Amino acid sequence: MENFLISPKEVKERIYSAENGYLLADIREENEFADWNIKGSTNIPINTLISEGNYTAIREKLTTLPKDKLIITICARGINSQVAASILREEGYDALSMEKGMKGWNENFDIYKIDFEGFYIVQFVRIGKGCLSYIICDKATSKAAIIEPAVFIDEYEDYLRANSMHAEYIIDTHAHADHFSGGMELAKKLNLPYYVNDIEVDKVFSFKSLKDIEVLSLGETKIKLLSTPGHTDGSMSLFVNDTALLCGDLLLLESPGRPDLARTKNETVKGAGILFDTIRKLLPSLKDDTRIFPSHFTKTLIRPVTLTLSELKTESKPLTMTDKDEFIDYITSSIPMTPPNYETIKKFNKAGVMIPLDYAEDLEIGPNRCAAR
């Protein structure tokens, strides 16, 4: 039987090639599409019609698509999109289904190298999920640290190997609620220490706490550990050679990180106040040309996903607020919907549980919603 599938990576390559001989047809319902989609795709909402077996209506909707382009059908997990692609081929179209759907789209990474004096930072942009992870590498020794790794740990292993880096340790800035950490599994596989603030986890697995560490070294590169609570109680930031700040979910390019996940309404207000205090204390200690590297992004098209502090102050209104009540009201008044399955994901991360990749991908389906606005 002929395979009429196209991998998410191949779809990404077509998009980046700027060729125009294809069309992405997302068949999920309108609300799902509006919430999370591949930029440039067209919504043909027939998922419900497929479930109902209403093939007359399905054909009517699908045959509005142009016949002079390759049609790549997309759904949540790559199942119904195969039905749509099959019907299109019966109607004389050239059609393929994106393997694993939007779940598979979450596997795609873009990688950027940002150079600094004495060290460089490699940013891994998970384009479907909006998650960011990093490798910090000391130029003199090629010693490296892996920061916020996703569950697709081969990405980091492959990069380390291809660039002759020597990984020393792995760090998570906090226990994430929107995606699974690959830190524990990667640490075990590479026999490396795994660091996280002990406030963030359940202390039932092997890790080293960041709470009382002031500086970690990578050869000649120094990483200061800063306590920056607000998004979570134990959130940490990493200040590399007083030049680059890897700040977890403290300072996203869209807004500060949301303070409400796993918190009651009253706790959320308190968390927003802590977030304000952290920002007001931290920012005066940083130079305007400090590069800010968050752990997530929502809508920004800036690549790599980084701004100087001066640029971020211009982009993010809350960073210039001096009135605490105004800040708390701004942060808490329009918080987005919670990320899908965030309670389950956070519980697994807090317990240091390594779960099957396919199960992790299922729970991670959906957009990133770590920004407060």
Give the pLDDT confidence score for residue 2 in this predicted structure. Answer: 63
> How far is residue 223's CA from residue 245's CA, in Å, rounded to a whole number?
9
pLDDT of 323 over the 70 cut: yes
pLDDT of 166 over the 80 cut: yes
pLDDT of 334 over the 90 cut: no
In the chain, what are the domains?
5-104 (3.40.250.10), 106-364 (3.60.15.10)
> How far is residue 345's CA from residue 82's CA, in Å, rounded to a whole number?
29
H-state helical runs in the chain:
8-17, 30-35, 47-52, 55-62, 80-90, 101-105, 154-162, 183-190, 265-282, 309-315, 324-333, 342-351, 357-364
Instruction: Write the DSSP assignment of 174-203 as a string of letters.
Output: S--SSS---HHHHHHHHT--EEE-GGGS-S
- State mean pLDDT over 207-227: 97
Q: What is the pLDDT of residues 255-312, one digit of tens each?
A: 999 999 889 999 999 999 999 999 999 999 999 999 999 999 988 999 999 999 999 9
Q: What is the pLDDT of residues 123-152, one digit of tens each?
A: 999 999 999 999 999 999 999 999 999 999
Give the pLDDT confidence score for residue 20 in this predicted structure. Answer: 84
Instruction: Write the DSSP assignment of 14-31 as a string of letters.
Output: HHHHT--SEEEEE-S-HH
Give the pLDDT confidence score for residue 11 in this predicted structure. Answer: 97
pLDDT of 372 over the 90 cut: no
Instruction: Measure Cα distances from 165 to 59, 185, 247, 272, 358 in Å.
Output: 53, 19, 23, 39, 29
Q: What is the pLDDT of residues 69-89, one digit of tens each?
A: 999 999 999 999 999 999 999
Beta bridge partner(s), residue 138: 119
- Residues whose CB is less than 8 angstroms from the CB of residue 278 and which lie 6 or more positions away in sequence, other chains included: 228, 229, 230, 250
> How far is residue 324's CA from residue 274's CA, in Å, rounded to a whole number?
10
Q: What is the pLDDT of residues 1-31, one digit of tens each?
A: 467 999 999 999 999 997 889 999 999 999 9
Strand 109-116 relative to strand 119-126, pairing: antiparallel
Beta bridge partner(s), residue 97: 5, 73
Position with higher pLDDT, 300 vs 324: 324
Give the pLDDT confidence score for residue 1 in this predicted structure. Answer: 41
Give the pLDDT confidence score for residue 96 in this predicted structure. Answer: 98
Give the pLDDT confidence score for residue 367 in this predicted structure. Answer: 85
**pTM across the whole model:** 0.95
CB-based contact 46:26 (threshold 8 Å): no
> How far is residue 44's CA from residue 24's CA, in Å, rounded to a whole number?
10
CA dihedral sign, ordered 24, 28, 30, 32? negative
pLDDT of 197 over the 50 cut: yes
Q: What is the mean pLDDT of the chain?
A: 95
- State mean pLDDT over 181-197: 97
Confidence of residue 183 (pLDDT cuts 50, 70, 90): very high
Confidence of residue 114 (pLDDT cuts 50, 70, 90): very high
> How far is residue 366's CA from residue 130's CA, in Å, rounded to a whole number?
10
pLDDT of 373 over the 90 cut: no
